[in-house]
């Protein structure tokens, strides 16, 4: 970033011709009006109250000096006016209000903000863009009920040959940062010129360099106007940093690091965690913070614990509305946790649910804490005074909403068809695949894990196929499988040595009938082979007797626990959150904010680095909520790393994923180019609609900007961006042959479509159903505490006498269940400031100055509206049994729009929660 200081020695660096300007006018306040969109987001419309601010350009004659210092009389200049829009905090304490008064005083005397206007044209003397500068004076905002949106004016005198403005440089002379929404320049021939910002402007006390804000015009690197070339390069350099030192809160440095910040070796050696990222444990890279190493392990970064924030580049942090929503969610989670903690305090130990009515109480009655119990909890749990006050008045918060999965039918979770339906329309519909051959084989080393053949035999399956042979079923593509065997078996021994954890590696085979129904027919549960027991694989079917039925229920519960862990650690965290982070870092480091690809991707990067940093701090860290609540425990992130070994960018595209899993085949005659083998597959059917809309929008956008045959390969920023994603962001995958090439417009469109789908539709489909499906713990336990009793086990007699008790005691405890329910509730919540796919935030309405692009975006938005109507019609189609029927909740996770809260629908632009 360029240094901008109001000193004569620097003036020649930026200025074109030095001007002798008349005294500047004081700022004239603007009227700010608000309306609310259907999504409850503020729409800001600036209504200029003085016609002089937008009148036709004025010209006058001023003396002007040439490059030799000689005075040229009668040079033509014009007066232009800048409208500066600032967003203040919505909630201010007394100190902040006093500071704001002082800032207004400083602005009133011209000591608050310096603005330099840079032309797209080169000054022949300085060889830089022509420039003029001024100070914002007289910030006198008109009082308004919405005082957090303020607009101020300042005037420039510019020569008539100045050319078109292409950038502004902002220097903040205040002692603290402020949030700049945009700057609009009035007075040039082409009408208002917009400089969208939506950025924090740091204080000159923190960094003397000025901020560069470019106008809303997209330029490929080769098309950059001469006056902006240096600024474009300098702005990118300022975002990359030098890879050294600890990052400071005001900085905007994007850099890479390994996951070496999850453990707490200085606090407890049992909380030490291995580094993820490298040959031994490959992983995507995260945003570097530069914190010093821990005292006991130089490979691990020292941690910052909440409430202290983890560094993310300044503009990546949550905005105030999002902060409030997330804080409220965290508060709610803490309150929910007190439900089982109350029971734990009274009984001196964490307890199981003893009957299903105990679970129902979480939704129907809630828990009321007496005053003495509140005090005891406060003393035992070190709850602060604020939390104690909330407890004294907030008893209603200790009550859960009824999850969607049991809202219509509280017994639906018991049925086999619901178990199967959730593999296609649940929160994790991305693992089911076709059975391509028999017997089912493991790819693990047989010397370590035993014979590769599954214990599920042809004879066993054919007993469930009512006369059809296995070969015939495979030929007709009617056998499907959820196969977590190879992913989990290497971890099972270590997982089962953890207290209160008992797991199997599972395989579940389904049959797809001619009536269009998917049914589970066999479950295989495997343990690592041991020298003391030759039997390590157990097969269950739904059977016909009472004992078999209960064993089948317990086997399904173990499958659900495995599915929950794979969903959270692999499909949700790894494939969306973690894999998107390098794309975002590389985009900021290598693509100028003027680059059309940057402008396309920018909405899809919002809040992701911040939510990922919070996850490393509180969710996926050693001893965090994920370890405490899911089967893999302390090995959770190692399992995620093992899954990354088979990750491929080219298979993250939805059509490629469906084809690879064998659940779809290419069919050019269909609208999306694919035919689903299971027609009633809600995730895939709706997902292909969203994918196709994104693809069409991206292809038209790329075609618009890359008009020449070699324009993709000659784009130096774009090529550096893709190279950095592969070689640094996904460093451990850098030599893989499957990375797409980036030589054609088609290559670029495919890459961008995959990224946008991952950040929007894919994340929405596997995130916002967490509480609707997982909020009822028996439907989707996140861990199991007991193995299924065998006839030779002492526990088997207890199982025969009271199978319900053994079943419930195998599920998570009350503490574990309510903790994960609280987290799932928070993670399933849309913020009021959510930005949804195809909907433009009106605060950023001037993101690009290109009517053709805006027309294409409107077409994309219209297409998404049509898709929403199509999905709603599908949900009313009685032929589609996986989304319609008695007690069946409609499949709405890929409906594009939503309101705030836990809605079970809505596709945000970005991974924001």
**Which one of the listed residues 186, 577, 595, 830 is annotated catalytic?**
577
User: Any catalytic annotation for residue 913?
Assistant: yes
What pLDDT, on a 0 to 100 scale, did the predictor assign at position 822?
81
Query: What sign does the CA torsion over 629, 630, 634, 636 have?
Result: negative
The angle that helices 385-393 and 371-381 make with each other, rounded to 10 degrees, is: 150
What is residue 109's predicted lDDT score, i.e. its pLDDT?
60
466 — pLDDT class (breaks 50, 70, 90): confident
Q: Please tell me the predicted confidence (pLDDT) of residue 75.
A: 55
CA 101/CA 723 separation, integer angstroms: 49
- Return the pLDDT at 906: 97
Q: What average pLDDT score do residues 466-475 get? A: 94
Q: Are 814 and 339 in contact (CB under 8 A)?
A: yes
Nearest partner of 127 among 1, 10, 229, 233, judged by Cα: 229
| Residue 69 or residue 499, greater confidence | 499
Residue 72 confidence class, pLDDT cut points 50, 70, 90 = very low
Task: Give me the mean pLDDT over the 62-89 stretch.
Answer: 63
Question: Would you call 174 a catalytic residue per the annotation?
Answer: no
Tokens at 743, concatenated: 């030589």
**Per-residue pLDDT tens over the stretch 878-912:** 999 999 999 999 999 999 999 998 999 999 999 99
595 flagged as catalytic: no
Spatial contact of 194 and 184, defined as CB atoms under 8 Å apart: yes
Mean pLDDT score, 587-594? 98
Instruction: Identify which of 110-114, 229-233, 316-320 has the greatest average pLDDT.
Output: 229-233
Q: Is 250 one of the catalytic residues?
A: no
Average pLDDT over all residues of the chain: 85
At residue 40, the pLDDT reads: 33
Between 16 and 747, residue with greater pLDDT: 747
pLDDT at 741: 98
Closest residue by Cα to residue 745 from 718, 709, 715: 709
pLDDT 10s digits, 141-171: 554 456 677 788 888 899 989 999 999 999 9
Residue 85: the pLDDT is: 87
Do 631 and 501 form a contact (C-beta atoms < 8 A)? yes
Query: Tell me, what's the pLDDT at 112?
Result: 81
Average pLDDT of the residues in 404-428: 95
User: Does pLDDT of 656 surpass 70?
Assistant: yes
Confidence of residue 313 (pLDDT cuts 50, 70, 90): very high
Beta bridge partners of 59: 78
Position with higher pLDDT, 494 vs 308? 494
502: nearest Cα among 102, 179, 749, 781: 781
% the chain with pLDDT above 90: 68
Structure tokens at 721: 């961006």
Q: Which of 216, 536, 571, 767 is catalytic?
A: 767
pLDDT for the residue numbered 753: 98
Predicted confidence band of residue 815 (pLDDT cuts 50, 70, 90): confident
Report pLDDT digits (tens) over 248-264: 999 999 999 999 999 99
User: What confidence score (pLDDT) does residue 94 get?
Assistant: 73
Res 8 pLDDT > 90: no
Cα–Cα distance for residue pair 575/430, rounded to 1 Å = 11
Question: In whole angstroms, what is the distance from residue 836 CA to residue 827 CA?
Answer: 16
Share of the chain above pLDDT 70, in %: 81
Question: What separation in angstroms does the CA of 552 have from each of 99, 280, 436, 782, 791?
Answer: 66, 38, 25, 18, 15
Catalytic entry in 202, 542, 730, 763: 763
572 is catalytic: yes
Q: Per-residue pLDDT averaged across 661-675, rounded? A: 90
Residue 477 has pLDDT above 80, yes or no: yes
Q: How many CA atoms lie within 13 A of 121 on its CB side?
A: 12
Q: How many CA atoms lie within 13 A of 719 on its CB side?
A: 10
Q: How confident is the model at residue 673 (pLDDT cuts 50, 70, 90)?
A: confident
CB count in 10 Å sphere of residue 321: 17
DSSP structure class, residue 259: B
**Residue with tokens 């909020």, as numbered in its chain:** 775
In this predicted structure, the answer to whether residue 285 has a pLDDT above a threshold of 80 is yes
Q: Tell me the mean pLDDT in the region 487-508.
A: 97
**Annotated catalytic residue within 336, 542, 558, 572:** 572
Please tell me whether the peptide bond between 134 and the residue prior to it is cis, using omega within 30 degrees of 0.
no
Q: What is the mean pLDDT of residues 428-436?
A: 97
Tokens (6 digits) for 287: 């945003």
Half-sphere exposure of 867 (CA within 13 A, CB side): 29
Tell how far CA 219 is from the center of its chain: 28
Per-residue tokens: 355: 């009957």
Angle of CA points 560, 803, 627, to nearest 5°:
35
């Amino acid at each position: 970033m360029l240094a901008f200081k109001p000193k004569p020695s620097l003036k020649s660096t930026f200025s074109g011709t030095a001007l002798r300007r008349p005294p500047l006018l004081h700022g004239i306040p603007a009227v700010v009006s608000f309306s609310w969109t259907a999504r409850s987001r503020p729409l800001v419309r600036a209504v200029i109250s003085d016609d002089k601010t937008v009148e036709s350009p004025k010209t006058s004659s001023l003396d002007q000096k040439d490059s030799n210092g000689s005075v040229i009389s009668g040079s033509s200049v014009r007066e232009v006016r800048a409208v500066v829009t600032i967003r203040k905090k919505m909630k201010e304490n007394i100190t902040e209000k006093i500071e704001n008064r002082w800032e207004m005083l400083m602005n009133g005397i011209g000591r608050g903000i310096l603005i330099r206007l840079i032309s797209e044209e080169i000054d022949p003397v300085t060889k830089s863009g022509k420039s003029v500068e001024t100070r914002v004076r007289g910030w006198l905002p008109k009082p308004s009920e919405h005082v957090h949106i303020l607009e101020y004016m300042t005037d420039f005198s510019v020569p008539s040959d100045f050319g078109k403005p292409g950038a502004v440089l902002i220097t903040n002379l205040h002692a603290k940062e402020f949030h700049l929404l945009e700057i609009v320049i009035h007075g040039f021939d082409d009408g208002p010129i917009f400089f969208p910002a939506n950025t924090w402007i740091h204080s000159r006390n923190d960094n003397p360099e000025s901020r560069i804000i470019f106008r809303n015009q997209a330029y490929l690197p080769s098309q950059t106007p001469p006056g902006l070339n240096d600024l474009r390069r300098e702005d990118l350099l300022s975002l990359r940093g030098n890879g050294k030192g600890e990052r400071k809160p005001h900085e905007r440095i994007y850099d890479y690091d390994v996951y070496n910040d999850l453990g707490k070796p200085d606090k407890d050696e049992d909380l030490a965690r291995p580094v993820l990222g490298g040959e031994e444990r490959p992983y995507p890279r995260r945003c570097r913070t530069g914190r010093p190493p821990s005292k006991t392990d130089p490979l691990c970064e020292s941690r910052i614990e909440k409430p202290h924030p983890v560094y993310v580049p300044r503009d990546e942090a949550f905005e105030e509305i999002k902060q409030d929503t997330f804080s409220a969610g965290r508060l709610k989670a803490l309150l929910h946790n007190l439900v089982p903690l109350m029971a734990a305090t009274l009984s001196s130990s964490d307890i199981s649910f003893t009957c299903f009515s105990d679970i129902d109480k979480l939704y129907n009655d809630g828990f009321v804490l007496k005053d003495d119990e509140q005090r005891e909890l406060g003393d035992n749990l070190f709850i602060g005074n604020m939390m104690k006050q909330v407890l004294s008045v907030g008893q209603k918060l200790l009550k859960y909403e009824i999850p969607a999965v049991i809202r219509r039918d509280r017994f639906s979770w018991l049925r086999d068809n619901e178990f199967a339906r959730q593999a296609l329309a649940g929160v994790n519909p991305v693992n089911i695949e076709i059975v391509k051959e028999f017997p089912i084989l493991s790819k693990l080393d047989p010397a370590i894990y035993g014979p590769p053949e599954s214990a599920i035999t042809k004879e066993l399956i054919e007993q469930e196929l009512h006369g059809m042979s296995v070969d015939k079923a495979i030929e007709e593509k009617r056998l499907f499988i959820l196969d977590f065997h190879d992913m989990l078996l290497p971890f099972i021994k270590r997982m089962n040595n953890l207290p209160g954890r008992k797991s199997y590696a599972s395989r579940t085979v389904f049959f797809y009938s001619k009536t269009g129904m998917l049914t589970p027919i066999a479950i295989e549960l495997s343990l690592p082979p041991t020298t003391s027991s030759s039997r390590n694989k157990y097969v269950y079917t739904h059977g016909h007797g009472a004992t078999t039925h209960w064993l089948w229920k317990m086997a399904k519960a173990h499958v659900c626990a495995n599915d929950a862990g794979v969903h959270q650690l692999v499909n949700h965290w790894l494939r969306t959150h973690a894999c998107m982070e390098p794309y975002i870092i590389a985009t900021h480091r290598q693509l100028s904010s003027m680059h059309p690809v940057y402008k396309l991707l920018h909405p899809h990067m919002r809040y992701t680095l911040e939510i990922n940093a919070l996850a490393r701090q509180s969710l996926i860290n050693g001893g965090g909520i994920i370890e405490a609540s899911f089967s893999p425990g302390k090995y959770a992130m190692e399992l995620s790393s093992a899954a990354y070994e088979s990750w491929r960018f080219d298979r993250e595209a939805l059509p490629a994923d469906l084809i690879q899993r064998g659940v779809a085949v290419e069919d050019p005659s269909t609208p999306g180019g694919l035919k689903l083998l299971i027609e009633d597959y809600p995730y895939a059917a709706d997902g292909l609609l969203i994918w196709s809309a994104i693809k069409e929008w991206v292809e038209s956008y790329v075609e618009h900007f890359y008009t020449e045959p070699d324009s993709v390969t000659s784009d130096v920023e774009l090529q550096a961006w893709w190279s950095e994603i592969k070689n640094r962001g996904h460093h451990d995958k850098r030599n893989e042959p499957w990375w797409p090439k980036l030589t054609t417009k088609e290559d670029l469109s495919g890459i961008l479509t995959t990224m946008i789908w991952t950040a929007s539709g894919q994340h929405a489909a596997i995130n916002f159903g967490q509480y609707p499906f997982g909020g009822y713990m028996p439907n989707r336990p996140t861990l199991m505490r007991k193995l299924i009793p065998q006839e030779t086990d002492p526990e088997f007699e207890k199982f025969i006498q009271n199978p319900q008790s053994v079943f419930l005691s195998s599920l998570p405890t009350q503490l574990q269940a309510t903790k994960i329910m609280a987290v799932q509730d928070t993670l399933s919540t849309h913020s009021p400031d959510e930005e949804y796919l195809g909907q433009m935030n009106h605060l950023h309405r001037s993101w690009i100055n290109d009517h053709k692009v805006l027309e294409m975006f409107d077409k994309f938005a219209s297409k998404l509206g049509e898709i929403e109507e199509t999905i709603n019609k599908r949900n009313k189609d009685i032929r589609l049994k996986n989304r319609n029927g008695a007690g069946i909740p409609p499949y709405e996770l890929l409906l594009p729009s939503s309101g705030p809260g836990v809605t079970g629908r809505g596709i945000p632009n970005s991974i924001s929660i």
